[in-house]
Structure 1
Amino acid sequence: MLDQTAARSPPTLVRWCGWIALCALLPGFARPPLAAQDGSRPASSDAAFDLVLVPGSSADSADGTPIWWLHEEGRASWQFRLEDRPPWRQPARVSGLAEGWRTLEPASTEALDEVIGDRRVAWLRLPLRVPPEWRGARFALDIDLAGAAEIYLDGRLIGLGGRIDERGPSGEGAVRWAGSLQLFDLGPQERQEIAVRFAPQPFAAMRWGAPSRGFELVVGELSAMRARTDRLRSVIVAMQWGFAGAFGAQAFLHLALFTFYRRERSHWFFAVLACTVSILVYLQFEALLPTDPVVEARLSLWWQTFLILALLALLRFSYSLSTRCGPALFWLVTAIGLGLIVVRLVRPQVNVFVDFWWFPVLAMGASLRAMVLAMRERRRGAPILATGLLIIAAATAVQLLLTFGVLPSPFGEIAPVPYLGVLGLTLSMSVYLAKSFADTNRDLEARLVEVQELSRRNLEQELEAKEREMQTRFLAADNRRKTEELQAVREFLLSLLPRSLPDFPGYEVAAEMRTALEVGGDYYDWRVVDGALLVAIGDATGHDARAGAMVSIVKGLFTSWDGKGDPGVFLGNANATLKLMSLRSVLMSLTLLRIERDEVVVSSGGMPPPLVFRHARDEVEELTIEGMPLGALHQGPYPSRRFTLEPGDGLLLTSDGLPELQTPGDELAGDDAGMLGYEKVREALVEAARGASAASVVASMLELVDTWRQGEPPSDDVIVLAIRREEREERG
């Protein structure tokens, strides 16, 4: 057995996965390394460096011979120098090279980091005692390291791992894995020495399964080493296809479920997640196989890319389970993830899981938040899926703690525990599917019980709907009939209004009616009889054919009046006539006046008071005349008032629709606060009548109507009738 001072490093990802696979599938191979024939024992699992020998002289070396570690507890460990000098490749027994070397105690990752620090390159050496049967024999060397190394035996270069330049390990390919055999010959002498020029990989470039900033040398005869490499490869390939196939099967299952039931989009997103993880696992194990450094760098690039995509797929799957998740956080995390992919493509030396460790935490936190919202929505099966998501979140957290050395790994390495977390999520998804199918069957049974009841109710509802439809058609037909009747009444009432202005010398007369949406009974008329101008303005109650009949009767009475006598007497006689007709609560408010030369006689029953504009004083007089609407009570003559109109004076007659005009908002609220009122009408008349014609006064008052109603039609008909005595009569 060789004499050695090496200490064992943490096992790689390959051996960790191998322990799982062998313990589960091949228990006969899952045994710890046996003691060496000379009494040496395996090293502790927390060391930074290993030198391993697979002896080809053993009878069972090709079929399961355990690895023999060149180490004995209590012996001297590796010696190191922190400067980079080529002569140190020579053995220490050469004169002048034995001084200044220090022993690395303990041979651990922490000790290595402490002594090397920020230095690029260090030299380490290990003296050996070679048995006679091995002197001059050809051996194979397998190097497993994180960084780059040159291995010398008594000054001869026997192995290379990566490439060292002035900046340290060169390129991503500097991280090498076990399985690349390099042949060399042991020397003929008993005492020989291994020297290693080593450039540790920066921590940011570390990956799962790499030795913790150290190296491992495995030595053995070629046949035994090939047998070991084949076993290593078979374990990796088996686990590669096993894990990738398991996740691929889950992807296929949920893709099929989504294909046949597209409403459940969570199946699609979980299929994307499982497919992404399947590719991720395949790339992970593919990188463990002996390969070209350039290919290995590309695999690492794609692996970290799919790691980000897997986190984003997990986030999207979680968001598909809740309807209350806003898209802002999802798109923020997605943008960050895509940005990290770009950073990884531009700067291959960046390790996303280490340099940007907060991104997995952010993605997992957003996923947990979405799951909590789904549980608050009481989505069916959300607690089951939340359990799986908590498993993968816990696995990711443990992986981060292992990566940064906060937690010790039970296998002495950075274990890929997130894969176990994804398996937990897959298991919870399977339980969710089983529960969903069971709940669906129960729901179907309950629905079948309700079918007959629902069918009966549906029949009753159809009959009720048919009956309502007939009623709706009847009401629609009745509404069309009434609308046509009201339109006929409107046209009839408008036909009763005069078509031209009166020709009465010395006076201007203008009138206009602004109609409402509903039919009203507003009415105005004039006649010139024996040199006198007779004017009537009124408003019948109601909005139907009875109002039209009332207006028609009053127009007939007004047309038959000869204009002689007092207007109040005419109103009294008209009231008596209407009472005899028994028109059933249909009343007629009416103002009647007669103008002869400059004298005006006016009488009114229930109409707004006439307004007289005095040109000389620039003021408005309000003529209040008490009287009941026609058809209300049996009474004698109505009171009358006499006054004169000087040149330039004017007279304004309106229906109650003008002073009682309301704004649209107050009209809907039933509030009288927005009513125009008589005072505002008087103020508007003062402004409009100064030197203006009768037509201008009417236009100004109607403009007031439009302004007050804010462009909407009035709720009641508005009549504005203006009379003005011309000023030229006085000059003549």
Structure 2
Amino acid sequence: MNANIYILSIGFVLALALLHLLLYLFYPRQRANLFFSLFAFSIAVRQLTSDVLQASDYGAQAATIINLAKLYSLGFAVFAFVLFLYAAFSLPVARQFWVVLALWLLIALAQTVSPPLGDVVWLRLVLPTFVVIESLRIIVRALIEKRDGAWIIGLGVALLASGPLKDVLAFKAPVSQFWNVLVNQLAICGIIIANSVFLARAFARTNRNLEEQLVQVKELSERELEHERTAAELRVQNEQERARLALVEQELALAASIQQELFPQRMPEPDGYNVAAQSRPARVCGGDYYDALHVASENGAHSSNYLFCVADVSGKGLPAALLMSNMQASLRALVGQTHSLTELAAQINELLHAASPANKFVTALLVEVDTATGSGRYVNAGHNECILLRQAGRAPELLKSTGLPLGMLPGSSYEEQRFELRAGDLLALYSDGVSEAYNKDEEEWGEARLVEHLTSVAAEPASRIVESVFAALDRFADGTPQHDDITLLILKPQAA
């Protein structure tokens, strides 16, 4: 019966030893499996040589081999178990371990070369004492540091201690041989099972962590793929947006080029007069407009009348440019059909009101001058007051508003005013972008500065005056972006 218990126990321990050896071979980084396998194998050999095989039943040579196996299996079991604890809790090997190992090797070699072998007190006392103290030190430290699974190995050591505890209790109450063998085997199997469970939990935890990491990697990969897909979509959208913007810029450039064709390509040169004009949009396309047209007489005779116009469409950019083209087309189509500025303004008002949104309109100054006599007349449709500089010593005059902006309300009427131009005078028609230009301090250039500057350059040719005003505006702005379209037309009677 006892032999069956021993054989069953040995078979169980050897099976676990083989299992953990295979686990180590498959995953060498977990060295605790190797040390546990050596520990379990040594325990099995120790049991086989101490409890199953009796050295006295064999010859002298076989008995020597059995005794050597008992000696080395005990040492291997002790040191393999301590190494298992070091590896299980990732602790460095203590110096006392190497000291005890060296002493044991010396004694074991001495026993090997000097048979017969018998019981050695050092082997019976020092090795168990060392393994108990070092094991308790490692386990207590692991428990204090709350290492995962430390309690399992601690439970196994407690089960192992049941064997010696049984021997102590046996002094007071003798135990039968069957129960003695059973308790010893349960103690050995207890430490073996506890250690195996600890390693199994570590293996399961490693697999679980690996699975979690695989899930994380999968999630990261999916997020990365989603990120790359989103980035690719954004790149495509950006490319499409760049292509769209390039097309818009190309179309705007074309529109600006077409708009420039709407301005007079060459200003007229009436006898005795000097005329110049310039317009600079705040954006690619603008809403300002100027023109200079010869007005034919009613009877077809030679005419010395010229119509000058500066207009400002509400708003900026391409929408304003489209309405400006309507203004240009309307003016040029109607200028020869009527010789009344009030009728001309009223007709343009009706056309623009019918063709433009309710919130769009055009301020305009229509000035007609008979260059032979110097007599002039004008209609100011909600435009800013343009300037008529007189000869030195005379105060400038302002061409004030005489009606609502064109296209604002249907049926609007306009009043015509008259003036005279003499040699030395200067007529400046401009949009509000000139007087309302501002600098970095948000200070407007203003009408006063414009009058002062025009007075200072009044003796110059019209083209030089226009250039001078634009240069003065740029100096005043000092790099401040232009916020409105700027247009200026200068008309000067020349001295006889």
Q: TM-score, normalised by structure 2?
A: 0.52
CA displacement at 1:583 relative to structure 2: 4.5
CA displacement at 1:531 relative to structure 2: 1.4
Question: Partners of 2:343 and 2:388 in 1: how far apart?
Answer: 23
Does 2:401 align with 1:625? yes
Contact 2:284 2:317 in 1 (8 A): no
CA displacement at 1:524 relative to structure 2: 0.8
Match of 2:363 in 1: 589
Contact 1:606 1:626 in 2 (8 A): yes
Q: 1:696 to 1:541 in 2, by over 3 A?
A: same
CA displacement at 1:648 relative to structure 2: 0.5
CA displacement at 1:711 relative to structure 2: 5.1
Q: 1:581 to 1:515 in 2, by over 3 A?
A: closer
Match of 2:377 in 1: 601
Contact 1:534 1:563 in 2 (8 A): no
Question: Partners of 1:713 and 1:601 in 2: how far apart?
Answer: 36
Does 2:478 align with 1:710? yes
CA displacement at 1:638 relative to structure 2: 1.5
CA displacement at 1:614 relative to structure 2: 0.9
CA displacement at 1:565 relative to structure 2: 3.3
Helix, strand or coil at the partner of 1:555: helix
Match of 1:489 in 2: 255
Letter matched to residue 587 of structure 1: F
CA displacement at 1:451 relative to structure 2: 3.3
Letter matched to residue 726 of structure 1: Q
Question: Partners of 2:261 and 2:481 in 1: how far apart?
Answer: 21
Contact 1:489 1:544 in 2 (8 A): no
Question: Partners of 1:563 and 1:722 in 2: how far apart?
Answer: 26
Match of 2:344 in 1: 570
Q: Give the alignment's Cα RMSD to 1 decimal.
A: 2.6
Helix, strand or coil at the partner of 2:457: helix
Report which of the two has the higher share of helix. 2
Contact 2:364 2:381 in 1 (8 A): yes
Q: 1:553 to 1:565 in 2, by over 3 A?
A: same
String of CA shifts for 1:32-84, please: whole Å, max 9, x gaps.
xxxxxxxxxxxxxxxxxxxxxxxxxxxxxxxxxxxxxxxxxxxxxxxxxxxxx
Of 469, 473, 479, 1:701 maps to 469
Match of 1:659 in 2: 435
String of CA shifts for 1:205-246, please: whole Å, max 9, x gaps.
xxxxxxxxxxxxxxxxxxxxxxxxxxxxxxxxxxxxxxxxxx
Helix, strand or coil at the partner of 1:483: helix
Question: Partners of 2:243 and 2:223 in 1: how far apart?
Answer: 30
Match of 1:725 in 2: 493
Helix, strand or coil at the partner of 1:642: strand
Q: 1:501 to 1:463 in 2, by over 3 A?
A: same
Contact 1:527 1:533 in 2 (8 A): yes
Question: Partners of 1:719 and 1:540 in 2: how far apart?
Answer: 12
Letter matched to residue 723 of structure 1: L
Of 419, 426, 439, 1:650 maps to 426
Does 2:306 align with 1:533? yes
CA displacement at 1:652 relative to structure 2: 0.3
Does 2:265 align with 1:499? yes
Helix, strand or coil at the partner of 1:627: coil
String of CA shifts for 1:172-195, please: whole Å, max 9, x gaps.
xxxxxxxxxxxxxxxxxxxxxxxx
Letter matched to residue 681 of structure 1: L
Map 1:350-361 → 2, pairs under 5 A: none
CA displacement at 1:545 relative to structure 2: 4.5
Does 2:463 align with 1:688? no
Q: 1:578 to 1:572 in 2, by over 3 A?
A: same
String of CA shifts for 1:448-501, please: whole Å, max 9, x gaps.
785344323222222222222232222222212221221121111100111112
Question: Partners of 2:217 and 2:249 in 1: how far apart?
Answer: 46
Helix, strand or coil at the partner of 2:336: coil
Q: 1:492 to 1:470 in 2, by over 3 A?
A: same
String of CA shifts for 1:598-618, please: whole Å, max 9, x gaps.
211111223221101011425
Higher relative contact order by CA 8 Å / sep ≥ 6: 1 or 2? 2
Contact 1:518 1:543 in 2 (8 A): no
Contact 1:651 1:724 in 2 (8 A): yes
Q: Percent identity?
A: 28
Helix, strand or coil at the partner of 1:574: helix
Contact 1:546 1:586 in 2 (8 A): no
Question: Partners of 1:702 and 1:480 in 2: how far apart?
Answer: 30
Letter matched to residue 251 of structure 2: E
Q: 1:701 to 1:557 in 2, by over 3 A?
A: same
String of CA shifts for 1:500-559, please: whole Å, max 9, x gaps.
121212221111223434311221111122210111111223445543332222222222
Map 1:378-417 → 2, pairs under 5 A: none
CA displacement at 1:632 relative to structure 2: 1.2
Report which of the two has the higher share of strand. 1
Contact 2:358 2:408 in 1 (8 A): no
Contact 1:620 1:686 in 2 (8 A): no
Q: 1:491 to 1:645 in 2, by over 3 A?
A: same
Question: Partners of 1:709 and 1:602 in 2: how far apart?
Answer: 32
Q: 1:450 to 1:472 in 2, by over 3 A?
A: same
Where in structure 1 do 4 or more consecutive aligned residues deviate above 6 Å? 444-449
Question: Partners of 1:582 and 1:674 in 2: how far apart?
Answer: 33
Match of 2:118 in 1: none
Match of 1:611 in 2: 387
Q: 1:502 to 1:603 in 2, by over 3 A?
A: same
Question: Partners of 2:463 and 2:285 in 1: how far apart?
Answer: 25
Contact 1:613 1:620 in 2 (8 A): yes
Helix, strand or coil at the partner of 1:547: helix
Q: 1:618 to 1:450 in 2, by over 3 A?
A: farther
Contact 1:504 1:528 in 2 (8 A): no
Contact 1:512 1:721 in 2 (8 A): yes
Question: Partners of 1:574 and 1:472 in 2: how far apart?
Answer: 44
Question: Partners of 2:356 and 2:434 in 1: how far apart?
Answer: 30
Helix, strand or coil at the partner of 1:657: helix
Contact 1:660 1:677 in 2 (8 A): yes
Helix, strand or coil at the partner of 2:433: coil
Contact 1:588 1:631 in 2 (8 A): yes
Match of 1:56 in 2: none
String of CA shifts for 1:380-436, please: whole Å, max 9, x gaps.
xxxxxxxxxxxxxxxxxxxxxxxxxxxxxxxxxxxxxxxxxxxxxxxxxxxxxxxxx
CA displacement at 1:582 relative to structure 2: 4.3
String of CA shifts for 1:265-305, please: whole Å, max 9, x gaps.
xxxxxxxxxxxxxxxxxxxxxxxxxxxxxxxxxxxxxxxxx
Of 276, 282, 287, 1:510 maps to 276
Match of 1:312 in 2: none
Q: 1:475 to 1:606 in 2, by over 3 A?
A: farther
Q: 1:539 to 1:620 in 2, by over 3 A?
A: same
Match of 1:380 in 2: none
CA displacement at 1:696 relative to structure 2: 2.5
Match of 1:196 in 2: none
Structure 1 runs not aligned, ≥5 long: 1-443, 667-672
Question: Partners of 1:492 and 1:555 in 2: how far apart?
Answer: 13
CA displacement at 1:713 relative to structure 2: 6.1
Match of 2:226 in 1: 460
CA displacement at 1:700 relative to structure 2: 1.7
Question: Partners of 2:258 and 2:315 in 1: how far apart?
Answer: 15
Letter matched to residue 567 of structure 1: L
Letter matched to residue 595 of structure 1: V
Q: TM-score, normalised by structure 1?
A: 0.36
CA displacement at 1:570 relative to structure 2: 1.1
Question: Partners of 2:281 and 2:424 in 1: how far apart?
Answer: 30
